[in-house]
Structure 1
Amino acid sequence: MNGTSTPAWNDGFRDRPLVFRGGTVLSMDDRRTVHTEADVLIVGDRIKEIGPRLAVPEGTVEIDATGGIVMPGMIDTHRHMWQSTMRGYGADWTITQYFVWYYLEHGKRFRPEDIHAGNLLSAVEALDAGVTTTVDWSHGLRTVEHADAAVDALEEIPGRFVLAYGNIHEAPWQWSTAPEFRDFVGRRLHGNDKVGFQMAFDVTGDPAFPEKAAFEVARDLGATVTTHAGVWGATGDDGIRLMHDHGFMTPGALYVHAATLSADSYHRIAATGGSVSVSTESEQTCGQGYPPTWILRAHDIPVSLSMDTSVWWSADLFSAMRATLGADRAREHLQAHAANETVTHLRLRAEHVVEWATRGGARALGLDDEVGSLEVGKKADVVLIKNEHSPAMFPILNPYGHVAFQAQRGDVHTVVVDGRVVKHDHRLVGIDLAKARRTAEATVAHLRADLGADAWERGMNPDIPETKVLDNPYTYTDYRSATTHGG
Structure 2
Amino acid sequence: MTNPVTPHAEDFAGDRPIVFRNGTVITVDSAGVLENADVLIIGDTIRAVGPQLDVPEGALEIDARGGIVMPGMIDTHRHMWQTALRGYGGDWALSQYFVFYYLTWGHVFRPEDIYAGNLLSALESVDQGVTTTLDWSHGLRTPEYGEAALQAMREIPGRFVLAYGNYLGAPWEWSNSPEFRDFVVRNFNAPDDMMGLQLAFDVPDDPDFQAEGAFRAARDLDLRVTTHAGVWGVTTDMSIGQMYDGGWMTDRITYVHAASLSDDSYQRIAATGGTVSVATESEQSAGQGYPSTWKIRKFGIPASLSMDTSVWWSADFFSAMRSTLSAFRSRDHLEAQSQGETVNVNRLRAEDVVWQATMGGATTLGMTDKLGSLTPGKKADVVLLKNDESPAMTPILNPYAHVVYQAGTADVHTVVVNGKVVKYDGKRIGLPLAPVRDKVAASVDYVRGELGDAAWDEWMHPQIPVDEEIPNPYTYQDEDD
Partner of 2:232: 232
Partner of 1:62: 61
Q: Does 1:254 align with 2:254?
A: yes
CA distance in 2, matches of 1:128, 1:87: 16
Partner of 1:372: 372
| C-alpha deviation, 1:461, in angstroms | 1.8
Deviations 1:131-190, CA, capped at 9 Å, x for gaps: 000000000001111100000011111000000000000110111111100000110123
Q: Does 1:419 align with 2:419?
A: yes
Task: Check the 8 A contact 1:7/1:13 in 2, yes or no.
Answer: no
Structure-to-structure mapping, 1:182-331, within 5 angstroms: 182-191=181-190, 193=192, 194-331=194-331
| C-alpha deviation, 1:450, in angstroms | 1.1
Deviations 1:183-231, CA, capped at 9 Å, x for gaps: 0011012315231010000001211111111110110000011000000
Secondary structure in structure 1 of the residue aligned to 2:416? strand
Could you tell me which amino acid in structure 1 is paired with residue 200 of structure 2? A
When the two chains are superposed, the root-mean-square deviation of aligned CA atoms in Å is: 1.3
Partner of 1:484: none
Provide closer, same or farther for how the CA distance between residues 111 and 42 of structure 1 changes in structure 2, counting only shifts above 3 A: same
Task: Check the 8 A contact 1:369/1:378 in 2, yes or no.
Answer: yes
Partner of 1:474: none
Secondary structure in structure 2 of the residue aligned to 1:2? coil
CA distance in 1, matches of 2:27, 2:149: 33
Q: Does 1:163 align with 2:162?
A: yes
Task: Check the 8 A contact 1:359/1:373 in 2, yes or no.
Answer: yes
Task: Check the 8 A contact 2:176/2:217 in 1, yes or no.
Answer: yes
Secondary structure in structure 2 of the residue aligned to 1:254? strand
Task: Check the 8 A contact 2:275/2:302 in 1, yes or no.
Answer: yes
CA distance in 1, matches of 2:237, 2:294: 18
Deviations 1:393-421, CA, capped at 9 Å, x for gaps: 10000000010011111110000000000
Partner of 1:470: none
Deviations 1:364-405, CA, capped at 9 Å, x for gaps: 101100010001111100000000111111000000001001
CA distance in 1, matches of 2:159, 2:457: 35
Could you tell me which amino acid in structure 1 is paired with residue 135 of structure 2? D
Task: Check the 8 A contact 2:38/2:53 in 1, yes or no.
Answer: yes
| C-alpha deviation, 1:12, in angstroms | 5.7
CA distance in 2, matches of 1:38, 1:74: 20
CA distance in 2, matches of 1:155, 1:13: 18
TM-score scaled by length of structure 1:
0.94
Partner of 2:101: 102
CA distance in 2, matches of 1:88, 1:269: 33
TM-score scaled by length of structure 2:
0.95
Secondary structure in structure 2 of the residue aligned to 1:340? coil
Could you tell me which amino acid in structure 1 is paired with residue 151 of structure 2? D
Residue correspondences, number: 464
Provide closer, same or farther for how the CA distance between residues 11 and 449 of structure 1 changes in structure 2, counting only shifts above 3 A: farther
Could you tell me which amino acid in structure 2 is paired with residue 153 of structure 1? A
Partner of 1:469: none
Partner of 1:76: 75
Q: Does 1:129 align with 2:148?
A: no
Task: Check the 8 A contact 1:259/1:291 in 2, yes or no.
Answer: yes
Provide closer, same or farther for how the CA distance between residues 115 and 11 of structure 1 changes in structure 2, counting only shifts above 3 A: farther
Deviations 1:419-474, CA, capped at 9 Å, x for gaps: 00001111111223222111111111111111111111111122499xxxxxxxxx
CA distance in 2, matches of 1:36, 1:252: 36
Structure-to-structure mapping, 1:387-406, within 5 angstroms: 387-406=387-406
CA distance in 2, matches of 1:461, 1:192: 45
Q: Which runs of 5+ in 1 are unaligned?
A: 466-487
| C-alpha deviation, 1:317, in angstroms | 1.1
Deviations 1:270-289, CA, capped at 9 Å, x for gaps: 00010000000000100000
Task: Check the 8 A contact 2:91/2:462 in 1, yes or no.
Answer: no
Q: Does 1:173 align with 2:172?
A: yes
CA distance in 1, matches of 2:121, 2:12: 26
CA distance in 2, matches of 1:192, 1:412: 30
Partner of 1:4: 4
CA distance in 1, matches of 2:325, 2:339: 22
Partner of 1:51: 50
Task: Check the 8 A contact 2:12/2:420 in 1, yes or no.
Answer: no
Q: Does 1:363 align with 2:363?
A: yes
Q: Does 1:36 align with 2:35?
A: yes
Could you tell me which amino acid in structure 2 is paired with residue 26 of structure 1? I
Secondary structure in structure 2 of the residue aligned to 1:10? helix
| C-alpha deviation, 1:252, in angstroms | 2.0
Provide closer, same or farther for how the CA distance between residues 120 and 460 of structure 1 changes in structure 2, counting only shifts above 3 A: same
CA distance in 1, matches of 2:284, 2:302: 20
